A and B are shown apart, each in its own frame.
Chain A
Amino acid sequence: MGVTGHQQSLITARDVGLVACTSCGLVAHAADHVCSRCHAGLQSRDHKSLQRVWAWLIAGLIVYVPANLYPMLRTTQLLKTQDSTIVGGVVDLVHHNAFAIAAIVFIASVVIPVGKFLIIGYLAILLPRTQNKDSHRLHKLHSAVEFIGRWSMIDVFVVAILVALVQFDVVASIKPGPAAACFALSVIFTMLSAQAFDPRLIWDVADQGKPE
């Protein structure tokens, strides 16, 4: 691969006094504020990014609480109404012996959101503090969170489909509960939180600790 310099001495755009466009990859003079090719805003490092990460993460955590406490689905069958929360829905699926589907829902609505909170928090705490970190691992964690976060939305779509399909008046009907909206908001906020990271900060931190 035609890299400037040798593999051991990779050069960043900032090292040579230039600024890179994160939208299209073109390199511009440090004084430029707008990319000449794609018109995106230019910034060598987004030092305010961590503030935005924390803000969205906290917002996501706040709405995640009612998302788990309130019912996701309100099923009415022959005048009997039954509420089920996110975890309750998984338990129901296990009782119906649908283990594979239960696993999908459990992973999408419990494991991924909780894992996402932990990983984003971990990255946000670690980034400004450490001198010599394994950037490759942190970068993989960040990419994984960005890639997988949107899949939490599965449960919201399940609720939407059930609500639309099961409408047989008194015999059986399903209505959405407040948790559906809270959970959707939580997913949106944590997606924004993951996107707010400037991944270049991960690599800068590593370089500072490296011997020349």
Chain B
Amino acid sequence: MTDTIHEVAYNPAYIACPHCDTLHRFSDDELISRTRCASCGYRLTLGKSEAIIRVVSLALTSTILMGIVLFTPFLSLNAGSFASSASVVDVIFGFSTGIMVPLAFAVLCFIVVAPVLRSLALVYALAPSLAGLKNSIGAEYALRLAFSLKPWAMAEIFMVGVAVALVKIAGLATIETGVAFWAFVLLVLLNAFQDTFMCRNTLWASLATNRA
């Protein structure tokens, strides 16, 4: 290694792998392409130069979709003379009796709070740079929060749960899907699409160059 320590430290051209600590020096071209760690294969950059505008717009769309999901019927059930319909809010508060209250709270966090908070944190952290403004206060904390919330936002897992539940009661009653159901499907697809733009390097580098 010919470079001195002082050249490497705080130099955004150097990326250390978060999983194995291997140090990489990237050229400007490599920083905007897809790269993996040479040692452990961890995805270091996703190479999305348009990442910020995509992430912000997808995050805004997700937040609006979540609003639709919450306040429209999700599924409705007909069994002879009995009918019931459930919104996502009903699903969450199905647990809200006695000792199950904490569980209702956990489900609320996993399928509503975590995804919405993640979207809002991304908008808060990244939107100012698109609008030509300096970073908002605490933008670093917001972006870190958005990354750390990823495993706890479980919208896609909830959809698989819905599929399993539908099969379990298929013999019992006829089921109709509501607006919220399709909004939720769209939300899951948008989140998956958004994750392909969540390049740590691009987002952090842009935040660093846009300091107040």
**A interface list, Cβ under 8 A from B:** 1-5, 7, 10-18, 20-29, 36-40, 44, 93, 96, 98, 101, 104-105, 135-136, 139, 146, 150-151, 153-158, 160-168, 171-172, 176, 178, 180-181, 184, 188, 191, 195, 199-200, 202-204
Contacts and interface: CB of A to CB of B under 8 A. Distances in A.
B187 interface: no
B95 A146 contact: no
Interface in B1-51: 1, 3, 5, 8-12, 14-27, 30, 35-36, 38-41, 44
A3 B25 contact: yes
Interface string B131-165: 00000000011011001000110100110111111
11 contacts: A1-B38, A2-B26, A14-B21, A20-B23, A27-B8, A36-B10, A37-B208, A101-B163, A136-B40, A154-B157, A162-B169
Contact of A38 (B15, B82, B143): B143
A37 B99 CA distance: 43
A11 B161 contact: no
The 10 A-B pairs with the shortest beta carbon distances in the complex, nearest first, are: A157-B161, A20-B16, A163-B94, A164-B94, A203-B20, A12-B21, A24-B204, A161-B165, A22-B18, A164-B86
- State which size class the interface on B falls in: 35 or more
Given A37-B204, A181-B103, A172 B172 contact: yes
A26 B12 CA distance: 6
A5 B1 contact: yes
Contacts of B54: none
Contacts of B102: 181
B16 A93 contact: no
B104 to A, nearest CB: 8
A160 B107 contact: yes
Given A26-B14, A158-B161, A199-B20, 5 more contacts: A25-B204, A27-B15, A135-B40, A161-B94, A168-B84
A178 B140 CA distance: 40
Interface in B79-95: 79, 82, 84, 86, 90-95
B16 A166 contact: no
A2 B14 CA distance: 10
Contacts of B113: none
